[in-house]
Amino acid sequence: MSKPATSCSNYIKFSWFLLIQILLSPISGQTASTLTVKNIIALLELDQDQIANLEQGKIIAFEVKESSPKELAGGLAIYLPSPPAKLVTFFNKGDMATIDPDVSVFGEISPKSGKEAFKGFVFTPQQHDEVQHLLNTEPGDQFNLSSEEIHGFAALREQLTNSNKVSSVSKVSQHYQHILWNRWNAYRNKGLVGIVPYAREETESSPAEELRSAAVNSQLLALFSPALQQAWLNYPSQLPKGAEERFFWLNRQVNDRPTAILSHRILLASDASSVIITRQFFVGHSYNSSHLIVGCLPYREGAIVFYTHRTYTDQVTGLGNNLKRSIGREQMKKQMVKNLKGLRSAVKRL
């Protein structure tokens, strides 16, 4: 019995060796899609063990360089035994929010939406404490709000002095829906320039600067589509031909609190490759913004998926920042692995 086992083991080793040689070999004789895979592997500096793990369908991690003390960044890759078209089908039908168990509800925002598009975002009577904190909020890191938005809640608090719990929750929900619409509308018309900074105790935090940095420093996006990277930076400039954009609002549990999130996503697909980019340009609390890229390339009967995520938060700065960032990266990696496993399962069901 030992000989067949040894033979099988040698065959597997040879298969990994062959895969590595194909991906790392000179470019002559390779197809465009294989060449792109080779370039990305070189860009990400994946070693032979990581490539072998990809062949086995394992999730591998790679480093994504951070450019800010507020930034947490990471990358993952996986081989899916499904054609790239299935991944595109999944994103055409929905979003990563559909496979995130922490998202309680979400909705799509059409280009000409009014405030009614956000009526699904509401606080519940059980979240009355969160509502009270909003009414009493001040500049700081408990909530991500501009100075004007904070003043708006202070004015609303005066109007609700004699209101009961149910009425307060309803009025605050409506007021927050108005904030979401204003922020989405400003971004939709002006892009990053339209994002109003968050008021802190002594300064401001700018999601616009963070997201601009994320786009500029995204080597993966630049390799997949330089034209899309430029359009992403200069949005709402014209998108590349074939690019499809969608907007979503989410109500997601973050640190056991309801969190409003505004998300912009663009999908650019072709026979050679597909790339999905997402930026969360407003987040209610805990972190400031995030930037996500999912790149997909055909390989054998399936596809190799590359996934990078950058999150920006003021909560990893200051005393003990190195430890905070280390813990933050690990938490983000766990969430990314969960997302990738969910994506694999969802695509498999299609």
Q: For residues 138-171, b (16+ Cβ closer than 10 Å) or e, as one string?
A: ebebebbbbeebbebbeebbeebeeeeeeebbbb
Length of the chain: 350
What's the CA angle centered on 246, arms 116 and 98, to 5 degrees?
85
What's the token pair of residue 51? 């490539």
When pLDDT is cut at 50, 70 and 90, the band that residue 40 belongs to is confident
| Strand 198-199 versus strand 204-205 pairing type | antiparallel
Q: What burial class does residue 312 get, using C-beta atoms within 10 Å of its C-beta: 0-12 exposed, 13-18 middle, 19+ buried?
A: buried
| Gap between the Cα atoms of 27 and 30, Å rounded | 6
pLDDT of residue 75: 96
Q: Quick one: tokens of 280?
A: 């969360």
Q: How far apart are CA 117 and CA 134, in angstroms?
A: 22
Distance of CA 254 to the CA centre of its chain: 14
Beta-carbon contacts of 185 under 8 Å, excluding residues fewer than 6 positions away, are none
The answer to whether residues 303 and 297 touch, using CB atoms and an 8 Å cutoff, is: yes
Distance CA 301, CA 179 (A): 46
d(CA 266, CA 220): 15
Q: How far apart are CA 256 and CA 253, in angstroms?
A: 5
197's tokens: 């900074």
Range 9-16 average pLDDT? 40
Element (H or E) spanning 104, and its range? strand 103-109
What is the C-alpha end-to-end distance of the chain, expressed in Å?
Answer: 40
What is this structure's pTM? 0.89
Span of 34-48, 120-134, 193-207 with lowest mean pLDDT: 34-48
Task: Answer yes or no: is pLDDT of 27 > 60.
Answer: no
User: Which pLDDT score is estimated for 96?
Assistant: 87
The stretches of 45-112 forming alpha helices (DSSP H) are 48-55, 84-93
Query: Among positive and negative, which fits the CA dihedral 318, 323, 327, 329?
Result: positive
pLDDT digits (tens, 9 = 90+) for 61-107: 999 999 999 999 999 999 999 888 998 999 988 888 888 999 999 99
Q: Tell me the pLDDT band of 318, cut-offs 50, 70 and 90.
A: confident
- pLDDT tens-digit series, residues 249-276: 999 999 999 999 999 999 999 888 899 9
| pLDDT tens, position by position, 276-301 | 999 999 999 999 999 999 999 988 88
Quick one: what percent of the chain has pLDDT higher than 90?
A: 74
Q: What SS3 class is residue 279?
A: strand
Predicted local distance difference test score (pLDDT) of residue 6: 43
Domain spans in the chain, listed from the N-terminal domain onward: 2-55, 63-114+197-349, 115-194
- Maximal C-alpha separation, the chain: 83
Reduced to 3 states (helix: H, G, I; strand: E, B; else coil), residue 306 is strand
Which class is 63-114+197-349 in CATH?
alpha beta
Q: What is the average per-residue pLDDT within 327-339?
A: 94
Q: What is the DSSP string of 192-255?
A: GGGPPPEE-SSSEE-HHHHHHHHHHT-HHHHHH-HHHHHHHHTTTSPPPTT-EEEEEEEEEEET
